[in-house]
Amino acid sequence: GGRIPFVSARPPAMESRTRRMLMQEVGIAECTVLQGTLGTVMKVLWNSDQAHKEMGDNKMIAFQQFALLHPEAQFVFIGDSGQGDVDFATAFMEQHLPVDANGRRLLPKERRDRAALIHDVAQSDGVKPKTSISRRSELRMGGVTVFDTYVGAATEIFRLGFIDVDGLKSATHGCMAEFADIKPDDFRTPEVFEARRVELLKDLSEMNNVRRASVNSSVASLETLGPNV
């Protein structure tokens, strides 16, 4: 397992509330909270675009200071498509790019010491995703993956080597159980329920494809290495 730093736009005055929310809503009792500033939060009232950009900038400054304390660590950032998280994720993947054995500096999408994932929020109708297909492709070229369900997120970090197949199975079972616990009537409209159901089924299919490909690759590797062992 890994340690969880929580990168927040909330100012220090709200730390106790943030920690209480993390405990009550997601069961996280121990974590590092990297905080924002009150001025940036207040700016949302009259200049939300600039405020969200500053939130991303402030998060990056806080993260840089934290990362200096853990130079050996690998980092996985998970945010959403709001409050400057996309800007943070892009900068996060571009920062301190490693070099390969030939001295070539890696592209953000090639690095394996970091991963950045953005949970896409829905538009006001609760159905259509906020981020277009073309924008998702653009972000992926920069090493940032936009996902719809946490099965999709788990599949991506499995593909990148941050979790093993047991971790992938655990995340998948957890997502399926949580979705099953929500009654269709609890969604705002039947269309919203159907949109979430379709997203989950799509990501489950992709997860199974990736898992099978991984198993087949492992078998092929064993068969190749077998005669030489």
- Model confidence over 79-98: pLDDT tens digits? 998 667 898 899 999 988 99
In this prediction, residue 176 has a pLDDT band, given cuts at 50, 70 and 90, of: very high
Per the model's pLDDT, the better-predicted residue between 17 and 118 turns out to be 118
Mean predicted confidence (pLDDT) in 220-226: 40
Cα dist from 46 to 52, 84, 85, 88, 192, whole Å: 12, 16, 20, 22, 31
Instruction: Please tell me the pTM assigned to this model.
Output: 0.81
Residue 225 is predicted with a pLDDT of 35
Report how far residue 223's alpha carbon sits from residue 78's, in angstroms, rounded to the nearest whole number: 37
In this prediction, residue 130 has a pLDDT band, given cuts at 50, 70 and 90, of: very high
Report how far residue 3's alpha carbon sits from residue 196's, in angstroms, rounded to the nearest whole number: 29
- The pLDDT tens digits of the residues spanning 24-42 come to 887 877 777 887 766 666 6
Report how far residue 136's alpha carbon sits from residue 124's, in angstroms, rounded to the nearest whole number: 19
In this prediction, residue 226 has a pLDDT band, given cuts at 50, 70 and 90, of: very low
Mean predicted confidence (pLDDT) in 169-191: 94
For residue 25, count CB atoms less than 10 angstroms from its CB and return exposed for 0-12, middle for 13-18, buried for 19 or more: exposed
DSSP 3-state of 126: coil
- Checking if the pLDDT of 227 tops 90, the result is no
Report how far residue 207's alpha carbon sits from residue 212's, in angstroms, rounded to the nearest whole number: 9
In this prediction, residue 17 has a pLDDT band, given cuts at 50, 70 and 90, of: confident
* Residue ranges of E strands in 22-80: 32-34, 75-80
In this prediction, residue 220 has a pLDDT band, given cuts at 50, 70 and 90, of: very low
**Among 68-72, 105-109, 171-175, 189-193, whose mean pLDDT is lowest?**
68-72
Mean predicted confidence (pLDDT) in 12-32: 79
Contact 68, 42 (CB under 8 A): no
Which sign, positive or negative, has the C-alpha torsion 120, 125, 126, 129?
negative
